[in-house]
Structure 1
Amino acid sequence: MAKANSSGIRRPPIAKWFLAEGVVLAVVSLAFLGLRGQVAGLSALLGGLIFLLPHGYFALKAFRYTGARSARKIMSSFYQGEAGKLILCAILFTMVFKWIQPLDVAALFLTFAIMLITNWITPLLLGSYTQQS
């Protein structure tokens, strides 16, 4: 259950969402491994991690503060988190393309895209955090 602050607005259940996204990543990576081999499986895993790691950084930065009194800190944290997420994505993609050979580029990008879509629908599938209990 998401934790409510004094204003009654709940923090999103980030850990629950990351667990669900981790399960999706494991399933997708194993599917690539089984269907297309070891290189595709590893490439899929790396594509998912390139999404999850920067997104985790964003979540840590963006959801540090709550409450109306912290509005400026919240906005600043969101901007810092988003900038950091984009920079981390670029660094991780660069590292993978530079150091991982052989690489199944299709599996890498397809899994990244699957994780992006999963991230959009996870809150819908696991229930909204804004509902009051």
Structure 2
Amino acid sequence: MNARMPNRVPFHRLPAFAVLRWQALVVLVVALILWFYQGRIAGYSGLLGGLIAIVPNAYFIYRAFRYSGARSARAVVSEIFAGEAGKLVMTAVLFVLLWVGVRPLEAGAVFAGFLAAVAVSACTPLIVKGFPKH
């Protein structure tokens, strides 16, 4: 008997999807601010830096919420570990591709966009509705 219970909730209805929406909004605001104050290169550099955080995070959310239910506990835990490992590898690969493939680029703006998206992730307990509060 297969104990894995696939989650039937569409990806955009998952509670953690709100984090991706907030990340996208914050990254867009940071990119626009960079564009306005430091120019076009800083703007797209900030946007690309934010995308380096958002895309792997979307992959992690997909993997972590793939299964649900008490009978799927082991599958959920293994998916969380696999999702986090994939997220780290994907982040490293995206950074390498960015540094190698995009010219011109402003490093400070890349990290500003990336850190803005990571900061939103760190605030997940405040964003996700129904997150346990102790």
Match of 1:74 in 2: 76
Matches for 1:53-92 after TM superposition, within 5 Å: 53-92=55-94
Structure 1 runs (4+) greater than 4 angstroms displaced? none
Aligned-CA RMSD value: 1.9
User: 2:29 pairs with 27, 30, 33, which one?
Assistant: 27
Aligned partners of 2:15 and 2:129 also within 8 Å: no
User: Structure 1, residues 17-70: CA drift from partner, whole Å, max 9, x if none?
Assistant: 211211111101100000100110010000000000000000000111112211
Residue 43 (str. 1) matches residue 58 (str. 2): no
- What SS is found at the alignment partner of 1:128? coil
Q: Deviations over 1:64-106 (max 9, x none)?
A: 1112211110111011101110110011000000011111001
The TM-score with structure 2 as length reference comes to 0.83
What CA deviation, in whole Å up to 9, does each residue of 1:95-122 have, x standing for no partner? 0000111110011012211111111114
With structure 1 as the length reference, what TM-score do the two structures score? 0.84
- SS of the residue corresponding to residue 112 of structure 1 reads helix
Q: Which residue of 2 aligns with 1:8?
A: none
